[in-house]
Structure 1
Amino acid sequence: MTSYFLAAPGDVQGISGGQILGSITYSGLALGAAIALVLGVRGSDRIKLNNRDKVGVFALITGTLFVAAGGMWAQVAAGIGDGATSTLDGANGIGDPGQGGISLALALCTFAPKWKKLVFPALFGLAAAVTFHTAGGVWGIIVRLILVPAGFITGGGS
Structure 2
Amino acid sequence: MHTTVITLAAPGISGMQIFGALTLSGLALGSAIALLAGLRGSKKIKIDSKDKAAWWGITTGTLWEAAGGTWADLAEGISSVPQGVFGAGSTFGNPGLGGTALALTLVAFAFEWKRLVVPALFGIAASVVYGEAGGIWGIGVHMVRMIAAKVTGGA
> TM-score higher than 0.5 here?
yes
Name which one, 1 or 2, has greater alpha-carbon Rg. 1
**Same amino acid, percent of matched pairs:** 47
Letter paired with 2:101 = S
Q: Which residue of 2 aligns with 1:88?
A: 86
Q: Runs ≥4 in structure 1, deviation > 6 angstroms? A: none
CA distance in 2, matches of 1:89, 1:8: 48
Shift of 1:116: 1.5
CA distance in 2, matches of 1:83, 1:45: 31
1:66-106 CA distance string (max 9 Å, x none): 01111100111110011111111242331100111000000
Say how many residue pairs are matched: 146
Q: 1:79 pairs with 74, 77, 80, which one?
A: 77
Q: TM-score, normalised by structure 1?
A: 0.86
CA contact (8 A) 2:107 2:122 kept: yes
1:134 and 2:105 are equivalent in the alignment: no
CA distance in 1, matches of 2:87, 2:12: 54
CA contact (8 A) 2:85 2:91 kept: no
CA distance in 2, matches of 1:90, 1:10: 54
1:31-88 CA distance string (max 9 Å, x none): 0000100110110000011111111111101000101111100111110011111111
Letter paired with 2:152 = T
CA contact (8 A) 1:41 1:118 kept: yes
CA contact (8 A) 2:130 2:141 kept: yes
Q: Which residue of 2 aligns with 1:17?
A: none
Q: Which residue of 2 aligns with 1:149?
A: 147
Question: Quick one: structure 1 residues 9 and 34, their matched pair in 2 at CA, closer, same or farther if it must change by over 3 Å?
Answer: same
User: Per the alignment, in what secondary structure is the counterpart of residue 153 of structure 1?
Assistant: helix
Shift of 1:151: 1.4
Structure 1 residue runs of 5 or longer lacking an equivalent are 1-6, 15-19
Letter paired with 1:9 = G
CA distance in 2, matches of 1:102, 1:88: 6
Q: Which residue of 2 aligns with 1:4?
A: none
CA distance in 2, matches of 1:12, 1:55: 38
Shift of 1:13: 4.1
Q: Which residue of 1 aligns with 2:5?
A: none
Structure 2 residue runs of 5 or longer lacking an equivalent are 1-9
- What CA RMSD, in Å, does the superposition of the two structures yield over aligned residues? 1.9
Question: Quick one: structure 1 residues 32 and 96, their matched pair in 2 at CA, closer, same or farther if it must change by over 3 Å?
Answer: same
CA distance in 1, matches of 2:14, 2:83: 49
Q: TM-score, normalised by structure 2?
A: 0.87
* Higher strand proportion (structure 1 or 2): 2
